[in-house]
Amino acid sequence: MQTILDELERHRGQARLGGGQKRIDAQHAKGKLTARERIEVLLDEGSFEELDMYVEHNCVDFGMPDQVVPGDGVVTGSGTINGRLVFVFSQDFTVFGGSLSERHASKICKIMDMAMKVGAPVIGLNDSGGARIQEGVASLAGYAEVFQRNVLASGVVPQLSLIMGPCAGGAVYSPAMTDFIFMVKDSSYMFVTGPDVVKTVTNEVVTQEELGGAVTHTTKSGVADVAFENDIDALLAARDFIDFLPLSNREHVPERPTSDPWDRVDESLDTLIPANANQPYDMHELIRKTVDEGDFFELQPAHAGNIIIGFGRVEGRTVGIVANQPMVLAGVLDINSAKKAGRFVRFCDAFDIPIVTFVDVPGFLPGVAQEHNGIIKHGAKLLFAYAEATVPKITVITRKAYGGAYDVMASKHLRGDLNYAWPTAEIAVMGAKGAVEIIFRGKTLEEIAERTAEYEARFANPFVAASKGFIDEVIMPHSTRRRIALGLRKLRNKQLENPWKKHDNIPL
């Protein structure tokens, strides 16, 4: 018996060594952890249970039968994060550069299938050179099998991708279909075609980092959500982040004990809005003073900064927060902000996470570039997302809510459950000066000024909308947290269903 146990331990030791000590050292030299070290940081200590440790590739070409490594370049299994079940795959760059083979893909598919059956998040740690060329179309088939599961799992269990090394070619489409992507600065990159191919085809000279690095994708493209300094930071952030999410679409949002009183009053909010309507203020301050302990996990902070998205908690329960940011482009809606917020709203709706919206929006961004690049269709994504969402929706208008942008930002007309306004709110078709110049075109400057003051007195307040029932209550800024907490309580058992359909046709 002891001989058999020793043999088992030998097999395990061989699998744990991956591509060998030399390659492990090379991974460390790049400032990167190994696949197994990453799992140790991500999961609760001692909770990881590995599956398919002994799986080997089945390639018979190009001398591959002589190069067999147990596990075949990916570590898969399950464990817990703060006691809650998750499924994980971690690609091992020390084995064939983490390249994906048919068997490698089948290991990933197996844990994704299990995650969907039991209802638990899937976390992918990506560090791969791409398809295993020696296997040809079999490796491409493997990618497509993973893609299919990404689609089936979408809206069923949360999917989080951590890009911790190369992720190129067809490999990028799996993370792209997951819900959130974290990247590591200077050691991870994503692109469909690399710098060499780009130079050959378009004659553009670009580095890997410029083309698809963490900074590029979290600022310019918006493909990734957050860029971290190193593997450890990314993995610890993932632990915090998963704590905000329900395990599946069948589960309620997680609840965590909090000592922050639900009815906490913050008098400083009464002076948050500047006297000058054109002066910006930081919407982060309102968010932090509303959520429990000021704990707010922001997503895509460096992309489309004119809108803020992320998760917080109220009375210990997760809420999704969407807020216009007056500090960037005066908080206008544009193509990037509409896409950013629209997808976030749809995620919250899929997993029954209540949505709190803070509104200070002067309208949509005008301009030839915006129109030619499809602001109409892209702006409609956010509108569509809010309109189809059946989760509890609470909206607080702090200052400007002008034109179509007022409608889009979770207005009463898009089935907002509780729509509040601060006394400083201005709900109108447009700003007073622009409106008066249209209505009284051709009048003298003195008449325009007089009419502008008249328009402001009549419309630059929340009471016209409140008189029509479009605003449920004009609230004191300092009581915002209390109002939201009470609102979320009463909406906890909300039931609302959209008409039956196979699926909708969101404007893509």
Cβ atoms 353, 494 nearer than 8 A: no
**CA 74 vs CA 93, 101, 129, 291, 293: distances in Å:** 8, 10, 12, 39, 39
β-bridge pairing 84-91 and 74-81: antiparallel
Which residue among 79, 98, 169, 310 is the active-site one? Answer: 169
Which residue among 15, 168, 387, 405 is the active-site one? Answer: 405
Assess whether 77 carries a catalytic annotation.
no
Q: Which residue has the tokens 């249970």?
A: 49
What residues have CB less than 8 Å from 226, skipping those under 6 apart? 182, 183, 218, 237, 299, 300, 301
Helix 283-290 vs helix 480-490: crossing angle, to nearest 10? 60
Which residue among 119, 155, 170, 434 is the active-site one? Answer: 170
Torsions phi, psi for 9 (to 5 deg): -65, -35
Q: Which amino acid is at 149?
A: R
Assess whether 405 carries a catalytic annotation.
yes
Nearest to 357 by CA among 349, 367, 369, 366: 349
Nearest to 124 by CA among 177, 165, 167, 161: 161
Assess whether 379 carries a catalytic annotation.
no
Nearest to 115 by CA among 93, 87, 138, 94: 87
Assess whether 428 carries a catalytic annotation.
no
Which residue among 155, 194, 404, 434 is the active-site one? Answer: 404
Number of residues assigned to the chain: 508
Q: Which amino acid is at 335?
A: I
Q: Which amino acid is at 139?
A: S
- Other Cβ atoms less than 10 A from the Cβ of 439: the count is 11
**CA 142 vs CA 8, 78, 170, 325, 345: distances in Å:** 29, 21, 11, 43, 31
- Which of the residues are catalytic? 169-170, 404-405
